[in-house]
A and B are shown apart, each in its own frame.
Chain A
Amino acid sequence: MPKVRTKDIIEKFQLELVSGAEGIYRPITTSDLSRPGIEMAGYFAYYPAERIQLLGKTELSFYETLSPEEKRTRMERLCTDITPGIIISRGLEVPPELIEASERQSVPVMRSTMKTTRLSSRLTNYLESKLAPTTAVHGVLVDVYGVGVLITGKSGVGKSETALELVKRGHRLVADDCVEIRQEDEDMLVGSAPELIEHLLEIRGLGIINMMTLFGAGAVRTHKRISLVIDLELWDPNKQYDRLGLEEEKVKILDTELPKLTIPVRPGRNLAVIVEVAAMNFRLKRMGVNAAEEFSARLTDAIEDGEHDYE
């Protein structure tokens, strides 16, 4: 299923559909745009037909200098069966040859009142976020003190219960059980809930509850950048858990590496507090305060001092 169609950008940018209405369900496959200036001049060898074509003042004023025959053929070559759409900016007049050619190939021709560069940057931003690589993970995403914490772990380990306690403590739920993750930028993962289960949380024994109606609009968020992954697992007596916090484990989601903490679960352990503190400690580290490293340095100093005493 295509992620973006021409129809979506018409709605998003309130474009006026001039002709080629049959083609508005064409998929847009790339976030790159094309300003077909050189094509207007007749050079089509590298024409990127699969991109949205943007015609501004420069292109159209040059086009006006062409002969009627050239005008006709250039527009015909511009409208291919894979072109998702042609946008005229600044509310300029649409050349009749373009309308004719677009109707024949059903390429949507749209018009915007925005300036070309402004429109092009807004379109690129929109398309990049829509076409960003995505994945879905099994876990719960909560905004804890402004840090997007993705809680993962096996079914039944207590992810949702931890999220519930966190919301009760004033934090915000983004998604329960299934988190859709988009790579919006290099090193930037944004998580959101699938539309159907937004605001909902499932607690064994209670069933499905709606966090927004129960706790208010302040208890939920639509999306949040993920900064930290906390993996909950049942306490394994044979496994060694991090006691110092000097090493930072990483986990890779899409193309981005995120810091990961593994927290063993045992009855009576207050996970919400641990997650809260993990989030605060994460912020502290970002601000340059690393308790574990500072302590380790102090210990090293003390040991070295002790060695001198013996000398």
Chain B
Amino acid sequence: MIEKQVEVKLKTGLQARPAALFVQEANRFSSDIFVEKDGKRVNAKSIMGLMSLAISSGSVITLIADGPDEKAAIEKLASYVQKEK
């Protein structure tokens, strides 16, 4: 299991569309992936859970992955939320 703290740089934060893309990316991996914000942990493969966190630009989240492709998953998702557009 690996964890990584990242700052969300997406200008709009994880609004509905970016969140859907995030979940889509997460679903490509077979590892269990979680997102944690302010002590609340949700499944990164579920869009509703992710959106219930209301992640804004500038907030710090923790990505947690556990499974065969955990490393690739974290890298991919971290780079996605750290994009600035």
Contact = CB atoms under 8 A, between A and B. Distances in A.
Contacts of A200: 48
Contacts of B40: 136
B62 interface: no
A138 interface: yes
B30 to A, nearest CB: 10
A77 B16 CA distance: 52
Query: Is chain B's interface secondary structure helix, strand, loop, or mixed overall?
Result: mixed
Interface in B40-74: 40-43, 45-49, 51-52, 54
Range of interface residues on chain B?
A: 10 to 19
B38 A155 contact: no
Contacts of A202: 46-48
B51 A138 contact: no
Contacts of B46: 138, 155, 177-178, 202
B27 interface: yes
B42 A178 contact: yes
A274 interface: no
Nearest to A198: B52
A66 interface: no
Contacts of B48: 176-178, 197, 200, 202, 208
A202 B51 CA distance: 12
A1 interface: yes
Interface string A162-190: 00000000000000111000000000000
A173 to B, nearest CB: 12
A196 B14 CA distance: 14
B43 A155 contact: yes
A155 B45 contact: yes
Nearest to A194: B52
Contacts of A178: 42-43, 46, 48-49, 52
A177 B38 contact: no
A111 B47 CA distance: 45
A196 B45 contact: no
Nearest to B42: A178
Contact of A1 (B27, B38, B42, B54): B38
Report which residue of A156, A197, A200 has the largest number of chain B beta carbons within 10 angstroms of its beta carbon: A197
B36 to A, nearest CB: 10
A284 to B, nearest CB: 33
A202 B47 CA distance: 8
Report which residue of A156, A177, A200 has the largest number of chain B beta carbons within 10 angstroms of its beta carbon: A177
Contacts of A1: 38
Given A1-B38, A155-B27, A138 B52 contact: no
A194 B43 CA distance: 14
A200 B46 CA distance: 13
A177 B52 CA distance: 10
Given A178-B48, A194-B52, 7 more contacts: A1-B38, A155-B45, A155-B46, A177-B46, A196-B51, A196-B54, A208-B47
Interface of B: 27, 38, 40-43, 45-49, 51-52, 54
7 contacts: A136-B42, A136-B49, A155-B43, A156-B27, A176-B48, A197-B51, A197-B52
